[in-house]
Amino acid sequence: MPAATSPDRLVLRRPDDWHVHLRDGDMLAAVARHTAWPFARAITMPNLVPPITTVEAARGYRERILAAVPAGLDFEPLMTAYLTDEIDPEEIARGHAEGVFTACKLYPAGATTNSASGVTDIRRLDRVLERMQSIGMPLLVHGEVVDHDIDIFDREAVFIERILAPTLARFPGLKVVFEHITTCEAVDFVRAADARVAATITAHHLEFNRNALLVGGIRPHHYCLPVAKREHHRQALRAAATSGNPKFFLGTDTAPHGIAEKESACGCAGIFSAPVALESYAKTFEEEGALDRLEGFASEYGPRFYGLPLNTGTVTLQRQSWTVPDTLEAGSVRIRPFHAGGALAWRLQDARASEDTEPR
């Protein structure tokens, strides 16, 4: 289905978000609608406290997500398992066979929010990765090393050398999504890799570089992990996302935290981008003269990589300036969205969900 593009209106096949944090409880209740309105499906991250490591926990979480989605919205959460040093390959395989787990997420222990139970040494996952390789289950990676002697701005590039490239070589059939890439090294690596390797790119890493964190004062609402890098890395990400290369697809990494947790002496990593996600990607694609490639990036390459049907509904973006709200309420806490208080030129109009999906 080609995108019907005019200067003022953009009709896209309904997209999916291949990387979201929906949280739980009041936060989940507040944020679920912002993902479920534009996106038909979303890969939901398992870094809850405690993390999602069993089929039973994933089923329960899926139910809570569905209960938090407003009536009338057609949305399917795709669940992931949180890999730990001790995780049982049989549990993973059973969850996959029963249609509960779509993929597994690798957090190096200590790399990011709620990663304390993550993996301390990739070699401890050998049996799990072998099993995933044999059943065609994708591995989603937070690609940063955690070594104290490695500068935080180099942690992604070092991860490629020390962990990702050797793991791909040891498991030549394993499908891998390199999540939320932030460097030209990652872009080059994914481009050169074979077809079983893909990457998600966030809207915020396309929009700002590390100056947005530090110039004129510390900006905690621009802090996320992996941290934004120098401008030439951002340019490489923009080129990759808008190139039409199907190895690069949409994953927002929307990651809400209460304002008090962000504006703190030790603020949390994460940007709550869901309320502006599609509009923000449209901004980048328009600036790059590539609006005609947004549909592939947002709605086609992800499902093709995961081996899932394309959605048949549509969403419409209208050229209409609007001001992003400063805050949203989530129970007793407030959260601040990406672009809070700013203006965006595109606005999401309508998500017409469809009952069924087209064959691949």
Which residues participate in catalysis according to the annotation? Answer: 253
Contacts of 32 (CB under 8 A, 6+ apart): 22, 65, 68, 69, 70, 75
Q: Does 255 bind ligand DOR (CB under 6 A)?
A: yes
- Minimum CB separation of residue 219 from Zn ion in Å reads 19
Q: Tell me how far CA of residue 29 lies from CA of 86, 140, 200, in angstroms.
A: 31, 25, 25
Q: Per rule CB under 6 A, is residue 21 in the interface with ligand DOR? A: yes
47 binds, among Zn ion, ligand DOR, none (CB under 5 to 8 A by kind): ligand DOR
Measured from the CB atom, the residue of 144 and 253 that comes closer to Zn ion is 253
Is 113 one of the binding residues for ligand DOR (CB under 6 A)?
yes
Which element (helix H / strand E) includes 68? helix 55-68
Q: Cβ 8 to ligand DOR, closest distance in Å? A: 34
Least Cβ distance, residue 55 to Zn ion (angstroms): 22
List 19, 34, 105, 142, residue binding ligand DOR (CB under 6 A): 142
Kindly state the smallest distance separating residue 5's Cβ from ligand DOR, in Å: 32
**Which entry of Zn ion, ligand DOR, none binds 314, CB below 5 to 8 A by partner kind?**
none
Nearest to 263 by CA among 307, 320, 219: 219
Specify burial of residue 265 (Cβ count, 10 A radius: 0-12, 13-18, 19+).
exposed
Residue among 255 and 274 whose Cβ is closer to ligand DOR: 255
Beta-carbon neighbour count of residue 68 at 10 Å? 22
What are the phi and psi torsion angles at 263 (to 5°)? -95, 75
Helices (H) and strands (E) counted in the chain, each on its own, are 14, 16
Position 47 contacts ligand DOR (CB under 6 A): yes
By CB under 5 A, name the binding residues for Zn ion. Answer: 253
List 79, 198, 224, 240, residue binding ligand DOR (CB under 6 A): 224
Taking the chain, what is the end-to-end CA distance rounded to the nearest angstrom?
Answer: 12
Cis, bond preceding 38 (omega within 30 deg of 0)? no
Q: How far is the CB of 134 from ligand DOR (least distance, A)?
A: 28
Q: How many residues does the chain have?
A: 360
Q: Which does 209 bind (CB under 5 to 8 A by kind): ligand DOR, Zn ion, none?
A: none
225 binds ligand DOR (CB under 6 A): yes
- Tokens 């003022």: give the residue: 8
Q: Tell me which of Zn ion, ligand DOR, none is bound by residue 69, counting a contact when its beta carbon lies within the kind-specific cut-off of 5 to 8 angstroms.
A: none
> Which is nearer to ligand DOR, 28 or 225 (by Cβ)?
225
Q: Would you say 176 and 141 are in contact if contact means Cβ atoms under 8 Å apart?
A: yes
Residue 187 contacts which entry, ligand DOR, Zn ion, none (Cβ below 5-8 A, type-dependent) = none
Q: Would you tell me which residues interact with ligand DOR (CB under 6 A)? A: 21, 47, 112-113, 142, 224-225, 255, 269-270
